[in-house]
């Protein structure tokens, strides 16, 4: 999403440095391409973790591309916020065109060189489009709240931090004042309960302190 702030910190890099060596055998054994998702609540560090994973992959000479779920929302940011305030039941996976994101991951797995994906322009409250170059990438990383639901993810990472733990991060990125008002806290409570049901689908857990649990992967 254009206009977003991504601040990669040491704990993101530490988690990535633990995860990538553990999954390298899976990537190497995969036919052609490999996909993974990074899910978690708003402010949990999904974008930062995805970026750190991409950086760690590059150390192993593996190129990657990142798909941001924020670009696949049905409505642009301020319009989506308005829709939520008019009807709180709008909050959930239905806010996102997950089927389109899944199709783009499938196209990546099939070896497509490029795809036309949506691009959210935060400051303009608009959704445009862009050509995504992905032909020379071995790995695609889809990051976003509900990406654990994607069918075309070979590996699923879940950041296990709740809305209270993420408030400091949301304040730091300071994307919009509306993110920190009481209504948004209610939204985050709803999101929290929704994505908790997705946690069992994860192959790797990143805990609240950003230590990693690889036991599901090893099992």
Q: How confident is the model over 37-76, as pLDDT tens digits?
A: 999 998 899 999 999 999 999 999 999 999 999 999 999 9
Residue 182 lies in a domain: yes
pLDDT of the residue at 167: 62
pLDDT of the residue at 175: 56
Q: Is the pLDDT of residue 154 over 70?
A: yes
Cβ neighbours around 45 below 10 Å, total:
26
pLDDT of the residue at 3: 63
Q: Is the pLDDT of residue 174 over 70?
A: no
Mean pLDDT of 128-143: 96
Distance CA 7, CA 52 (A): 10
- DSSP secondary structure letters along 105-130: HHHHHTT-SEEEEEEEETTTTEEEEE
How many structural domains compose the chain?
1
Mean pLDDT of 31-38: 94
Provide the sign of the torsion angle of the four alpha carbons 4, 116, 92, 208, taken in this order. Answer: negative
- Confidence band of 178 (pLDDT split at 50, 70, 90): low
Residue 168 lies in a domain: yes
Residue 121 lies in a domain: yes
Distance CA 149, CA 12 (A): 23
Residue 22 lies in a domain: yes
Residue 219 lies in a domain: no
Distance CA 25, CA 30 (A): 9
Distance CA 37, CA 142 (A): 5
Mean pLDDT of the chain: 91
Q: Cα–chain-centroid distance for residue 171?
A: 19
Name the residue range of residue 113's domain. Answer: 10-207
- Confidence band of 177 (pLDDT split at 50, 70, 90): low
> What's phi and psi for 206, nearest 5 deg?
-105, 120
pLDDT in tens, 115-124: 999 999 989 9
Q: Please state which of the ranges 96-100, 168-172, 215-219 shows the lowest mean pLDDT.
A: 168-172
Q: Is the pLDDT of residue 165 over 80?
A: no
Residue 192 lies in a domain: yes
CATH code, 69: 3.40.50.300
Higher pLDDT, 148 or 7: 148
Residue 38 lies in a domain: yes
Q: Is the pLDDT of residue 218 over 70?
A: no
Rg over CA atoms, the chain: 16
Residue 146 lies in a domain: yes
Distance CA 60, CA 102 (A): 26
- Confidence band of 1 (pLDDT split at 50, 70, 90): low
Mean pLDDT of 208-213: 94
> What's phi and psi for 203, nearest 5 deg?
-90, -30
Q: Please state which of the ranges 60-69, 163-172, 178-187 shows the lowest mean pLDDT.
A: 163-172
- Confidence band of 162 (pLDDT split at 50, 70, 90): confident
pLDDT of the residue at 30: 87
């Amino acid at each position: 999403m254009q206009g977003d702030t991504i601040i990669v910190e040491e704990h993101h890099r530490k988690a990535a440095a633990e995860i990538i060596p553990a999954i390298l055998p899976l990537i190497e054994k995969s036919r052609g391409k490999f996909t993974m998702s990074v899910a978690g609540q708003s402010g949990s560090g999904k974008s930062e973790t995805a970026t750190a994973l991409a950086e760690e992959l590059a150390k192993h000479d593996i190129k990657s591309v990142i798909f941001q779920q924020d670009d696949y929302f049905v409505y642009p940011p301020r319009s989506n916020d308005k829709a939520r305030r008019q009807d709180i039941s709008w909050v959930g996976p239905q806010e996102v065109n997950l089927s389109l994101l899944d199709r783009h991951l499938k196209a990546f797995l099939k070896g497509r060189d490029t795809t036309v994906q949506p691009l959210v322009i935060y400051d303009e409250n608009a959704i445009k489009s862009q050509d995504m170059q992905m032909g020379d990438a071995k790995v695609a990383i889809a990051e976003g709240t509900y990406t654990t639901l994607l069918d075309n993810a070979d590996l699923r990472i879940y950041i296990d931090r709740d809305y209270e733990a993420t408030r400091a991060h949301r304040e730091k990125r300071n994307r919009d004042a509306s993110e920190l008002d009481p209504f948004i806290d209610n939204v985050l409570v709803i999101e929290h309960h929704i994505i908790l049901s997705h946690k069992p689908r994860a192959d790797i857990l990143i805990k609240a302190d950003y230590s990693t649990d690889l036991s599901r992967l090893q099992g």
